[in-house]
Amino acid sequence: MEEQGYICCYCERRLTDDDSHIEHFRPQSDPSVDPLDYSNMLCSCQNQLKQGEPRHCGNLKGNWFDPLLLVSPLDPACEARFTHTADGKIRPASESDDAARATIEKLGLNIPKLNNLRKKAIEPFLDETLEAREFSLFVTGYLRKSREGTFGEFWTTINFLFGQLAAQ
């Protein structure tokens, strides 16, 4: 969790000790996978489902793995494969990116619960009373790792929508 700034490797929700699990990017059910290979271990949200809660991220992915259709959060170019909208939705950056589309679908990244949480994370950045300098400081502060080592939830969404505006 510490290495990931306490956000889920897939959806970027806040990770907690009681609502996270070790995610094997390449499933342990694959006989070629070393279950102790540290480079294959990530931290995902949803350790156990609460009744009525929709599955998503590693919990929904389960043993599914297709190297051609699953975008790795370990890929430095991962962020560029997706776009984010002010209503909290995530989409492939390119209509022809089948892997980004499959990743969103197989991980449930566009379920209403996550869309609503992303939308709530976006709302403070839409405050029209902030002056340009205040807005820039607000965004810059949000995108910086805290003293406690945490990133803001939905970091990539906020960076996509507001990162360039703060840099101006």
DSSP assignments along 11-67, one per residue: T-PBP-TTSEEEEESS-TTSTTS-TT-GGGEEEEE-SSPPTTPPP-HHHHHTT---T
Across 142-157, average pLDDT: 96
The confidence band for 168, taking pLDDT boundaries of 50, 70 and 90, is low
Domain count, the chain: 1
Question: If you average pLDDT over every residue of the chain, what do you get?
Answer: 94
15 within domain boundaries: no
11 within domain boundaries: no
37 within domain boundaries: yes
Question: Please, are residues 51 and 61 in contact by the beta-carbon 8 Å criterion?
Answer: no
Distance CA 28, CA 34 (A): 7
8 within domain boundaries: no
- Cα distances from 159 to residues 58, 84, 97, in angstroms, run 23, 10, 21
118 within domain boundaries: yes
* The pLDDT of residue 50: 76
What's the whole-model pTM score? 0.92
157 within domain boundaries: yes
63 within domain boundaries: yes
106 within domain boundaries: yes
- Provide the residue range defining the domain that includes 60: 20-167
SS3 1: coil
